[in-house]
Amino acid sequence: MEHQQRAHRLQVSLHVFVRGEDTSGIPFDMEVESQNVSRGGLAYHSPQEVAMGADLEIVVERPPIAAREFPPLFTTGKVVRVRAVDSGGFDIGVEFTGPKLMIFAAETDATVTT
């Protein structure tokens, strides 16, 4: 059963570092660009298949907004979607299990925090 998205996803490419194990148990540490992001997760394309439910360590580089810089988001996630792509590789959907991504003004009241 495919995971239902609970948050509005923005089609934005952010630089992301992902660490985990593939379906063969082989550790990986890769740099990817997000396909989309939300407060609660992100999707990316991977050359490696990752198992549903797999735990990942994630670092999301956040771009500056206006003149304000933001530190990277260090978080963890759980794989909630794995889809093989005809052109090769896999589209991976991740739900954050650690700190959430809060860089969008509409999602915060006063200050931007993680």
The C-alpha atoms of residue 112 and residue 105 are separated, in whole angstroms, by: 8
Q: Which of 18-32, 60-74, 99-113 has the highest mean pLDDT?
A: 18-32
User: Taken in order 93, 98, 104, 108, is the CA torsion positive or negative?
Assistant: positive
At 106 the three-state DSSP class reads helix
At 105 the three-state DSSP class reads helix
> For the chain, what is the radius of gyration of the CA atoms?
14
Q: What is the CATH number of the domain that holds 22?
A: 2.40.10.220
Count: domains in the chain: 1
Q: Dihedrals φ, ψ of 91, to 5°?
A: -90, 125
Q: Which of 23-27, 61-65, 67-71 has the highest mean pLDDT?
A: 23-27
Kindly state whether residue 20 falls inside one of the protein's structural domains: yes
Kindly state whether residue 10 falls inside one of the protein's structural domains: no
Kindly state whether residue 113 falls inside one of the protein's structural domains: no
pTM of the model: 0.79
What is the residue range of 85's domain? Answer: 15-107
pLDDT bucket at 20, cuts 50 / 70 / 90: very high
